[in-house]
Amino acid sequence: MARVCEICGRGPDYGRSVSHSGKRSRKVRAPNLQRVHAVIDGVRRRIRVCTRCLKAGKVQKA
What pLDDT score does 10 carry? 96
pLDDT at 1 over 80: no
What pLDDT score does 45 carry? 95
User: Helix, strand or coil for residue 25?
Assistant: strand
pLDDT digits (tens, 9 = 90+) for 3-47: 999 999 999 999 999 999 999 999 999 999 999 999 999 999 999
The candidate with the shortest Cα–Cα distance to 3, out of 35, 30, 24, is 30
pTM of the predicted protein model = 0.81
Cα gap 31→10, rounded to integer Å: 7
What pLDDT score does 18 carry? 97
Asked if 5 contacts 55 with a C-beta cutoff of 8 angstroms, the reply is no
